[in-house]
């Protein structure tokens, strides 16, 4: 019944009971006090009147005695007449007082005393009359003798008895006052007990109400905390009514809603909504949860020509294709293997406890499974996929490093049109020291650990330094100077080259603008990687940076490799034309090592070719190298291009290149790479030996 009451009803009832108790206490106390006050007043007044009447009787008796004594001693008739009148007044007043006292409804005992006094007054009245008659008839001596013999005894008894009556009435009044005090004490005790009872009942009601509210609320709070902690299986008490019941029902609804929404959120966070496979986030967590001592293979699987299928048949068919491929991969995997849909047409596979042989067999099995024709919307689709495989070992690289390596292997497989490629086939196993450098490069860039060195290019016809190549160096705080070959390839593989190149270009432009203002006419060269050349933002950044620095575009040369033109040649060519139109010089680096050199020389808007050091080394005594370099020089003269011989290290190589009219030479035979200040000083001395006083 209590649980069915609302909190509002409980509080109303509780306070109503408390108010009723307090009202009862106040009413009883007021009534008792009023009765006690009225009774006390009546008793005091009544008893005071009785005592007053008794006192008057005594006073009048004494006055009568005094007047009588005066009569016995007065000889003159006229004085006695006056005394007779006074005596009559006292007798009348005394009689009236006795009559009034008799009418106050005294107790039987007191009434007997009054009757006794009345009798004495009658006897005293007779004796007084006889005494007075003797005074008038026989004279005062005989009257005095009669008074002393008879009247005085009665008078003395009367005075004593009236005094006793007065004392008795005083005692009675005192006794009744004591009783009234006792009654007042009893009333006070009743009030105290009532107040205590009201307090106890009030405390009990407060505890009862608090318990009826706090216990369910505490249960609700505990339930809410459990829900907040993710325990959605907690039971919600039922059967409660009122506000508590509404609160618990709301908590139950909240629990179910949160559980439902969290399940949806978890699904969105960890499951790819299209293929119902784990997404990249979930794949990362599962990879991190693997045993620390486990080895295996990480595979990136990509659908070839998926964009063409999507564009030709529509995104709906493309989505169905992705789902079909996901199901086929799951069917081809083992029980302990894991597949996730990363993005678009790319899947990631985790093959635990797999070595190279097992991984190759498993990936090939998946590729063969996916090659089976797929029928969608009445269309037969023949699917080809490419796979990049990275093996991992206990304590090896983190997931993002493995993904980068697998991505590079996937790129290699696509480039060579192979079904799969292992990262080990690209560069062998990655040393842990180099993998740690990958994670440190970003911090190195932020901390200013990268520096630019410049290697001069000698113009053989002018015998002047007219150009210089910017080469990045890493001044590591713990590992000293790290050469670029130890981190640039990994920066390209991981994509971090996108952050390094803009920094290098901005630094080179600032340096070139500085020595341009210094009057030094030297063209600065900076290298662009494959990823850089495909970035339209970088092209705009180079143009804007050169304009802001005030550098003439012709004073900056951008060197590209042939491999940078192979992935997306149309986009790369577009960006090269934009750079060339702006006025920058363009150079093909490592010429001769690619597969389509002549085609690129014909179509690219370049100003310069750099012959790779592999052909320059030993050109003075190696006929084949000499033939390649000589033919390249002839070709470039016909096309209007300048030629830079890279990597010349001996005086004999320099002499041969000079004799065959090579334009520029770069290598240790000229100078090694130098920091900016050292480079500027060296170039000024080299180009102006007479001014500097040194013949270099």
Instruction: Tell me: do 561 and 637 sit in the same domain.
Output: yes
Instruction: Tell me: do 381 and 473 sit in the same domain.
Output: no
Using the 3D structure, point to which of 430, 458, 473 is the last residue of a domain. Answer: 430
**pLDDT, tens digit, 9 for 90 and up, residues 211-253:** 667 777 777 777 777 777 766 666 766 656 666 677 777 777 7
Is 310 inside a domain boundary?
A: yes
Asked whether residue 101 carries a pLDDT value surpassing 60, the answer given is yes
Instruction: Tell me: do 332 and 344 sit in the same domain.
Output: yes
Asked whether residue 522 carries a pLDDT value surpassing 90, the answer given is yes
Asked whether residue 647 carries a pLDDT value surpassing 70, the answer given is yes
- The pLDDT value recorded for residue 696 is 39
Helix (H, G, I), strand (E, B) or coil at 381: strand
Range of the domain at 505: 434-690
Residue with tokens 């209007």: 640
**pLDDT, tens digit, 9 for 90 and up, residues 163-210:** 777 777 777 777 777 877 787 777 777 777 877 787 788 778 777 777
Question: DSSP assignment of 302-343, as one string?
Answer: EETTHHHHHHHH-HHHHHHHHHHHHHHHHHHS-TT-EEEEEE
Is 469 inside a domain boundary?
A: yes
Instruction: Tell me: do 389 and 457 sit in the same domain.
Output: no
513, 500 Cβ separation under 8 angstroms: no
- The pLDDT value recorded for residue 437 is 64
Say which residues have a Cβ less than 8 Å from residue 398's Cβ, sequence separation at least 6: none
- The pLDDT value recorded for residue 5 is 59
3-state percent helix, strand, coil for the chain, nearest multiple of 5: 65, 15, 20
Instruction: Tell me: do 516 and 424 sit in the same domain.
Output: no
Is 111 inside a domain boundary?
A: yes
Q: Bigger pLDDT: 430 or 396?
A: 396
d(CA 61, CA 80): 19
Residue with tokens 């670029």: 484
Question: DSSP assignment of 209-271, as one string?
Answer: HHHHHHHHHHHHHHHHHHHHTT-TTPPPP-S--HHHHHHHHHHHHHHHHHHHHHHHHHHHHHB
Residue 370 sits in a domain of what CATH number? 3.30.70.270
Instruction: Tell me: do 394 and 438 sit in the same domain.
Output: no
Instruction: Tell me: do 333 and 370 sit in the same domain.
Output: yes
Asked whether residue 2 carries a pLDDT value surpassing 60, the answer given is no
Give the strand pairing for 523-528 and 464-476: parallel
Residue 440, CA distances (Å) to 427, 433, 495, 505, 532 in order: 20, 11, 14, 21, 21
Lowest mean pLDDT among 493-502, 575-584, 591-600: 591-600
Instruction: Tell me: do 473 and 527 sit in the same domain.
Output: yes
Q: Cα 82 to the chain's mean position, in Å? A: 115
Confidence of residue 694 (pLDDT cuts 50, 70, 90): very low
Give the strand pairing for 450-459 and 674-675: antiparallel
Using the 3D structure, point to which of 430, 458, 480 is the last residue of a domain. Answer: 430
Instruction: Tell me: do 466 and 565 sit in the same domain.
Output: yes
Q: Count the helices and strands in the chain (H runs, E runs).
A: 24, 17
- The pLDDT value recorded for residue 678 is 94
Is 214 inside a domain boundary?
A: no
d(CA 134, CA 145): 10
Is 288 inside a domain boundary?
A: yes
- The pLDDT value recorded for residue 207 is 76
Is 81 inside a domain boundary?
A: yes
Of 324, 320, 283, nearest to 300 by C-alpha is: 283
Instruction: Tell me: do 315 and 456 sit in the same domain.
Output: no
Is 243 inside a domain boundary?
A: no
Using the 3D structure, point to which of 157, 182, 205 is the last residue of a domain. Answer: 205
Of 524, 526, 533, 578, nearest to 555 by C-alpha is: 524
Residue 142 sits in a domain of what CATH number? 1.20.1440.210
Instruction: Tell me: do 134 and 186 sit in the same domain.
Output: yes
CB-count exposure of residue 408 (10 Å: 0-12, 13-18, 19+) = buried
Is 498 inside a domain boundary?
A: yes
Asked whether residue 496 carries a pLDDT value surpassing 50, the answer given is yes
Kind and range of the H or E run holding 386 = strand 385-392
Question: Considering its fold, how many domains does the chain have in total?
Answer: 3
Per this entry, what is the length of the chain?
A: 696
Instruction: Tell me: do 83 and 172 sit in the same domain.
Output: yes
Confidence of residue 693 (pLDDT cuts 50, 70, 90): very low
């Amino acid at each position: 019944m209590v649980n069915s009451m609302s909190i509002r009803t409980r509080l109303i009832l509780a306070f109503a009971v408390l108010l009723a108790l307090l009202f009862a206490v106040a009413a009883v106390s007021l009534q008792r006090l009023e009765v006690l006050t009225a009774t006390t007043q009546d008793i005091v007044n009544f008893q005071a009147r009785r005592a007053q009447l008794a006192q008057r009787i005594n006073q009048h008796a004494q006055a009568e005695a005094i007047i009588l004594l005066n009569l016995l001693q007065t000889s003159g008739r006229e004085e006695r007449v006056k005394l007779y009148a006074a005596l009559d007044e006292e007798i009348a007043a005394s009689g009236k007082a006795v009559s009034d006292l008799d009418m106050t409804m005294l107790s039987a005992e007191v009434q007997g005393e009054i009757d006794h006094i009345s009798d004495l007054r009658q006897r005293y009245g007779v004796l007084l009359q006889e005494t007075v008659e003797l005074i008038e008839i026989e004279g005062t001596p005989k009257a005095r003798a009669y008074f002393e013999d008879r009247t005085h005894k009665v008078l003395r008894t009367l005075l004593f008895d009236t005094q006793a009556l007065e004392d008795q009435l005083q005692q009675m009044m005192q006794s009744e006052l004591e009783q009234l005090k006792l009654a007042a004490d009893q009333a006070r005790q009743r009030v105290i007990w009532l107040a205590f009872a009201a307090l106890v009942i009030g405390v009990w009601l407060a505890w009862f109400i608090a318990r009826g509210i706090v216990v369910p609320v505490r249960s609700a709070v505990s339930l809410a905390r459990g829900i907040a902690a993710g325990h959605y299986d907690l039971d919600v008490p039922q059967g409660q009514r009122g506000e508590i019941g509404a609160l618990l029902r709301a908590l139950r609804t909240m629990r179910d809603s949160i559980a439902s929404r969290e399940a949806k959120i978890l699904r969105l966070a960890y499951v790819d909504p299209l293929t119902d496979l784990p997404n990249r986030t979930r794949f990362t967590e599962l990879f991190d949860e693997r045993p620390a001592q486990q080895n295996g293979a990480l595979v990136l699987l990509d659908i070839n020509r998926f964009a063409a299928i999507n564009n030709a048949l529509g995104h709906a068919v493309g989505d169905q294709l992705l789902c079909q491929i996901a199901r086929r991969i799951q069917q081809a995997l083992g029980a302990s293997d894991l597949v996730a849909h990363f993005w678009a047409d790319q899947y990631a596979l985790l093959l635990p406890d797999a070595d190279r042989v097992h991984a190759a067999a498993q990936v090939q099995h998946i590729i063969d499974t996916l090659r089976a024709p797929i029928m969608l919307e009445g269309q037969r689709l023949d699917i080809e996929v490419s796979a990049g495989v990275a093996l991992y070992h206990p304590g090896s690289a983190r997931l993002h490093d493995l993904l980068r390596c697998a991505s590079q292997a996937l790129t290699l497989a696509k480039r060579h049109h192979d079904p799969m490629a292992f990262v080990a086939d690209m560069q062998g196993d990655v040393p842990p020291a180099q993998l740690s450098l990958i994670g440190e490069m970003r911090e190195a860039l932020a901390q200013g650990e990268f520096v630019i060195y410049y290697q001069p290019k000698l113009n053989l016809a002018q015998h002047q330094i007219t150009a210089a190549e910017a080469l990045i160096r890493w001044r590591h705080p713990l590992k000293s100077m790290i050469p670029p070959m130890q981190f640039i390839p990994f920066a390209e593989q991981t994509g971090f080259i996108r952050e390094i190149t803009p920094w290098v270009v901005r630094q080179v432009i600032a340096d070139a603008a500085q020595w341009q203002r210094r009057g030094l006419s030297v063209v600065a060269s900076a290298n662009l990687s494959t990823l850089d050349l495909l970035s339209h933002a970088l092209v705009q950044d180079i143009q804007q940076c050169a304009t802001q620095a005030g550098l003439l575009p012709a004073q900056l040369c951008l060197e590209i490799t042939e491999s940078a033109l192979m992935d997306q040649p149309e986009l790369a060519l577009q960006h090269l034309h934009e750079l060339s139109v702006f006025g920058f010089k363009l150079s093909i680096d490592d010429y001769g090592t690619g597969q389509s050199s002549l085609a690129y020389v014909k179509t690219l808007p370049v100003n310069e070719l750099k012959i790779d050091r592999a052909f320059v080394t030993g050109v003075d005594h190696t006929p084949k190298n000499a033939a390649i370099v000589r033919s390249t020089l002839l070709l470039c003269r016909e096309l209007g291009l300048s030629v830079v011989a890279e990597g010349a290290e001996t005086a004999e190589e320099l002499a041969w290149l000079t004799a065959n009219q090579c334009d520029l030479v770069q290598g240790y035979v000229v100078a090694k790479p130098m920091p900016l200040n050292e480079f500027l000083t060296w170039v000024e001395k080299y180009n102006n030996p007479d001014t500097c006083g040194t013949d270099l």
